[in-house]
Structure 1
Amino acid sequence: MTVSGITPEEQAELDKALYDALNPLASAIRSRQTGLPAERMWEASPIEVGLSVLAAWKVMAAEVERLIAHAAATAGSYGASYEQMGAVWGITRQGARKKWPDAVSRPAPAGRRTLALFGGTAALVQAPSGDWSWTGVGADGASSLGSDETYYATAEEAAAHAGAYLKEHALDAVDHS
């Protein structure tokens, strides 16, 4: 049975990619459990190999759930509703709200929105002219007032520029050399 919405070929490619990602992790887990080198993992008993593969899938499942929650928060920060997220996920609006309780923030006052990405935040502000600007603080503590002379025609355009700034100032983007 294939996952809804993808072709059998895409399903086969996805399966291969997942197994390719899983095997080094399963080997590392097995190596830590036995003290044997990772390349000798398959010399263990079938039960031990099977359990190390199961342990690796558990790690991957937790990571996938973390990435799913991040994707939901990103969608919500751009204005997606719980109803929209639920439709994509195949659950109700209430189910989406329960699954990702912090993904959608309460509406900001008219002409002002907040964007939270990559551990930082940005405020999007609409000028009386209708144009938008932004200010932000990255996860690394860097602060930008945007440019007092830079305005964008839409909130989405301002959010894109603010999002790029926040990504640039994410903690994992900092060069530690």
Structure 2
Amino acid sequence: MMAFEITPEEQAELDKALYDALNPLASAIRSRQTGLPADRMWEADPIEVTLSVLAAWKVMDAEVRQLTARAAATAGSYGASYEQMGAVWGITRQGARKKWPDAVSRSAPATARRNTLALFGGTAELVQVSSGDWSWTGVGADGASAAVTDGTRHATAEEAAAHAGAFLKEHSLDAPDHS
């Protein structure tokens, strides 16, 4: 597995940034628990002070987990695989799938689904593309044809059918001439 390591200087900068972010949170937690002003936090009982620091780290840990899950989902949305995410995290593909179960969308079936729609004397073909979204092409009763060439995709077959149906209605033999 690929490991991403940081230099000792980067580690020192990271530690400082984390402590700088942690201290105001720990002070606020300590102040709420004791009623002491935040600037007098360190005057409290050492056990209570260290427990407030621990509580602040718990809050930061939960936030880091959420940010990590968001980063994994973003990587998955751009096409990263569980194998790649696992390599970055230092775990197996299966471990990455377990850690971030929704990060990578399931592949569409190898064969695309197709439906034909016949309305108003014309036809349209609805096609599910590899991303799972739907597209359509159509030929109206008046001979006009349409193909989605601008990359527009629809989330469901029903949505694609509605757009295709609107095209077919507009290009039926009974449609008013728009010229």
- The TM-score with structure 2 as length reference comes to 0.62
Q: Of 109, 120, 132, which residue of structure 1 is paired with 2:151?
A: 132
> Per the alignment, in what secondary structure is the counterpart of residue 36 of structure 2?
coil
Name the amino acid aligned to 1:32.
Answer: R
Higher relative contact order (CA 8 A, sep 6+): 2
**4+ runs of 1 displaced by more than 4 Å?**
123-131
Aligned position for 1:7: 7
1:11-160 pair list within 5 angstroms: 11-108=11-108, 111-113=129-131, 132-133=151-152
Percent identity between matched residues is: 75
1:26–1:52 CA contact under 8 A, matched in 2: yes
Structure 1 residue ranges without an equivalent (≥5): 115-122, 137-177
Number of aligned pairs?
127
Q: CA deviation at 1:38?
A: 1.1
Structure of larger gyration radius: 2
Name the amino acid aligned to 1:61.
Answer: D
Aligned position for 1:164: none
Structure 2 residue ranges without an equivalent (≥5): 113-127, 138-146, 156-179
- The TM-score with structure 1 as length reference comes to 0.63
1:87, 1:124 → 2: CA distance? 33
2:107–2:130 CA contact under 8 A, matched in 1: no
| RMSD (Å), alpha carbons | 2.8
2:107, 2:35 → 1: CA distance? 54
1:71, 1:124 → 2: CA distance? 27
1:76, 1:124 → 2: CA distance? 20
